[in-house]
C-alpha cells in the first residue's frame, strides 16, 4: 500500500503528458515553499533561446541580446496580446500608448533598423522567433523570408546571425568581435 502511494506521488510530481509535448523542461528544482515550509518541486520551461544557449549554438552575449529584444518587444506591446483593463475609464478609447510603450517601440524600431528592416531576413526572423516567440521551424515554414519557405537548418543560421547583429547593436559584445 505504501509503495503504491509513493508511486502515485511521483506521478503527480511529473509534468503532464500534454505539457511535455509542448517543449522541454529543465531539471526539477526542489525547495521549500516560503509560506508553508513544505517541499515543492519546480519545473522551468526552456525557450528557444535557452535551448540554443544550452546546445552551444549561441553565446551568452547573443542570448542576452535576444532577451533584451524580447523584453523591449513586450514593453512596446507589439506581441498582440491584450488584457482587459481592471478599471475602465469612461471616456477612454483604449488606443493611447503610454510613454513606456512609445520609448520601447522606438528601441525596437532602432533594433530592427540595425537588422536591416522588417522585410530583411534577419528582421523577419527576430520579429517572429524572438519577439512573437514562434519556433524557428514554424517561422521557416509559415512566414519565412518575404513569404518564401526557408529550410529550418538555414533558418537557424539566420537566427544565429541576427542575434550576433543584435549583440553588437545592444553592446553586449564589442563590434570588433561581432564582425
- Pairwise CA distance, residues 143 & 130, whole Å: 14
* pLDDT band of 59, cuts 50, 70, 90: very high
Q: What is the pLDDT of residue 107?
A: 95
pLDDT higher for 19 or 37?
37
Whole-model pTM: value is: 0.69
What mean pLDDT comes out for the span 78-97?
60
Given 3-state DSSP classes, what are the helix, strand and coil percentages for the chain, each rounded to the nearest 5?
A: 55, 5, 40
Contact 28/19 with Cβ under 8 angstroms? no
Domain ranges of the chain: 2-42, 48-178
pLDDT higher for 93 or 131?
131
Backbone angles phi, psi at 39, to 5 degrees: -70, 135
Amino acid at each position: 500500500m505504501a509503495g503504491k502511494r509513493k508511486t502515485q506521488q511521483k506521478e503527480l510530481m511529473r509534468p503532464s503528458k500534454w505539457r511535455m509535448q509542448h517543449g522541454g523542461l529543465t531539471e526539477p528544482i526542489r525547495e521549500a515553499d516560503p509560506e508553508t515550509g513544505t517541499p515543492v518541486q519546480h519545473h522551468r520551461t526552456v525557450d528557444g533561446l535557452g535551448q540554443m544557449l544550452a546546445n552551444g549554438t549561441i553565446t551568452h552575449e547573443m542570448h542576452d541580446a535576444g532577451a533584451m529584444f524580447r523584453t523591449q518587444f513586450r514593453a512596446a506591446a507589439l506581441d498582440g496580446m491584450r488584457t482587459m483593463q481592471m478599471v475602465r475609464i469612461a471616456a477612454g478609447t483604449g488606443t493611447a500608448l503610454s510613454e513606456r510603450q512609445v520609448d520601447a517601440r522606438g528601441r525596437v524600431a532602432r533594433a530592427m533598423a540595425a537588422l536591416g528592416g522588417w522585410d530583411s531576413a534577419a528582421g523577419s526572423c527576430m520579429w517572429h522567433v524572438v519577439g512573437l516567440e514562434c519556433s524557428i521551424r514554424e517561422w521557416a515554414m509559415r512566414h519565412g523570408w518575404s513569404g518564401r519557405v526557408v529550410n529550418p537548418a538555414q533558418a537557424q543560421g539566420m537566427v544565429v546571425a541576427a542575434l550576433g547583429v543584435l549583440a553588437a547593436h545592444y553592446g553586449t559584445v564589442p563590434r570588433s568581435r561581432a564582425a
